[in-house]
Amino acid sequence: MNKTLIIFKREYLTRVKKKSFLILTLITPFLFAGIVFLPGYLATRENKQEHKVAVLDHSSIFLGELKNSNSTHFFFIQKDEYEILRQNNLKNSDYYALLEIPQSILVSNRVLVYSNRQINLDVKNHINRQLESHIENQKRAKLVEQVGVPDLERQLQETRTRISVETLKLGEDGAGRQGSTEIAMIVGYAAGFLIYMFVFIYGSMVMRGVLEEKQSRIVEIIISSAKPVQLMMGKILALAAVGLTQFMLWVVLMAAIFTGAKSMFFNEEALQQMTQGDNVMMSAGNGAMGGMMNNVDPEQIQTIMNQIQGINFVQIITLFLVYFILGYLLYSSLMAAVAAAVDSEEDMNQFMLPITVPLIGAIIILANVIKNPEGPLAFWASHIPFTSPIIMMVRIPFGVPWYEIAISVGILALSTYGAVWIAAKIYRVGILMYGKKPSWKELGKWLTYRS
């Protein structure tokens, strides 16, 4: 046991003290936070840039009717000024673009926008929405005039209904706690993908480390003072500790970044600024983000923040550690056994396929599990030991009965114990065997050898 601890200490300190480990651990949370918060922050900054649009309205329908936003301002011009701007390609002018509205706009539904560069999506969508809105109002007015019902417009407006579906999670005391299906999806997917990434990366590090030591014959010297099983477990546990160290540092840094971002970007002043006029996120056409942000207000964002705080992160982090440790031990022990049994990477690929297929399969079915976390596919995949570390972490934010989690962890723990036992048998024989390509049949024989 002491020798295992010595190997553990050496492998752990060697990797943790590397500059690449420290840099990656410190930079990754900031990169992730930048991906999440920076687009919204830059969107609010971009609103300050004014884009002047010159408008020539041949139909005279829109004169004085187009509303400005923080970033797009309309200026109606005469035909002679329009000709000058066209001929000079908007040079020596303050105009960003030139909008020409034809006489037949109500028939053709088509306008022309000229610019000496490709106009941005924010300006284009604002022009589109303003024209569509005014034309719709014109058509409604004509309909009211034809039908002869003075309050028809009001009646049409009153028929418009917008439903806000607020989800509440019932606790043991029957009280409802604010929740969100979308946030549960994001948290579940992130947790499952992190398990996959950690297991695959650190398992591969164990495998390649074992293969390199075997190829360089260093292992022959180490084995003279430590048992093969002690060497294998020292390596596996050391890399598990490296992964846990990195994850816990990420949790601390992300919590600090989230707290700082909340106070900086999501205070009352910032929320009001985000909702004034149009911004890049709101003008994303018919895209999903555009639809979500199109009618955002400070109360909505505050609700989202409350929903995030309603997630039981203590449970998620605790179970993440449990599933990571067990899943990592399961896969890394098998990968170490494969590396010990072969002499080259080409031979290693032959045995790696059955090990990696369940991991990849778990990622493939993630979308279906997120759509239906209570379905039979999600249930069985969260209990099969080779996929349960990933799939169960996806289901947990949606709420999973404690007995299902207990059964899943129990099956995974027993499977991990069996995998370590098998790996130790193969590792003990294969680590000192050279020049022979083992077959599946021969690996089975190694399991029967006595110590």
**166 found inside a domain:** no
Phi–psi pair at 269, nearest 5 degrees: -65, -45
Asked whether residue 302 falls in the same domain as residue 400, the answer is yes
- Does residue 269 sit within a domain? yes
Does one domain contain both 247 and 304? yes
Q: Please name the residues in contact with 230: beta carbons below 8 A apart, sequence gap of 6 or more.
A: 1, 3, 4, 7
The domain boundary residue, chosen from 156, 171, 202? 156
At residue 194, the pLDDT reads 86
Note whether 421 and 298 are same-domain residues: yes
In a domain, 161, yes or no: no
* pLDDT number for residue 135: 82
Query: 356 pLDDT exceeds 70?
Result: yes
Are the C-beta atoms of residues 64 and 86 closer than 8 Å to each other? no
Number of domains in the chain: 2
Please give the backbone phi and psi of residue 445, each rounded to the nearest 5 degrees, phi first: -65, -35
181 or 253, higher pLDDT: 253
Lowest mean pLDDT, pick from 48-57, 75-84, 189-198, 277-286: 277-286
In a domain, 164, yes or no: no
Where a domain ends, among 156, 171, 206? 156
The verdict on 398 and 280 lying in the same domain is: yes
pLDDT value, residue 392: 92
**Domain around 256:** 2-40+181-446
416-446 pLDDT, tens digit per residue, is 988 888 888 887 777 777 667 777 777 777 7
**What pLDDT was estimated at residue 323?**
92
Report the CATH number that the domain containing residue 81 is assigned in CATH.
3.40.190.10
Q: What's the burial of 102, exposed, middle or buried (CB within 10 Å: 0-12/13-18/19+)? A: middle
Assigned domain for 245 exists: yes
Q: What distances in angstroms separate CA 129 from CA 124, 126, 212, one per listed residue?
A: 9, 5, 62
Tokens of 87: 């001929």
Mean model confidence pLDDT for the chain: 75
- Mean of the pLDDT values across residues 375-383? 89
Q: What pLDDT, on the 0 to 100 scale, is given for residue 240?
A: 80
| Number of other CB atoms surrounding residue 48 within 10 Å | 9
Domain boundary among 119, 140, 156: 156
User: Looking at the structure, do residues 32 and 116 belong to the same domain, yes or no?
Assistant: no
Do both 36 and 76 map to the same domain? no
> 218 and 123, same structural domain?
no
Whether residue 97 contacts residue 86, with contact meaning beta carbons closer than 8 Å, is answered with: no
278: its two tokens: 């149009």
Is 163 domain-assigned? no
Q: What is the pLDDT of residue 231?
A: 74
Mean pLDDT of 332-349: 80
- One domain for residues 299 and 425: yes
Residues 20 and 123 both lie in one domain:
no
Task: Identify the helix (H) or strand (E) that includes residue 75.
Answer: strand 72-76
Q: Which residue has the higher pLDDT, 314 or 163?
A: 314
Task: List helix spans (H) across 53-119.
Answer: 79-87, 105-108
Rg (CA), the chain: 31
**Burial class of residue 251, CB neighbours in 10 A (0-12, 13-18, 19+):** middle
Q: What is the pLDDT of residues 112-150, one digit of tens each?
A: 888 877 777 778 888 888 888 888 777 777 766 666 665
* Together in a domain, 61 and 13: no
Lowest mean pLDDT among 1-15, 20-34, 275-289, 330-344: 275-289
List the beta strands (DSSP E) in 91-241: 95-101, 112-114, 167-170, 176-179
Pairing of strands 112-114, 51-57: unpaired
In a domain, 176, yes or no: no
30 and 71 both lie in a single domain: no
Q: Are 284 and 318 members of one domain?
A: yes
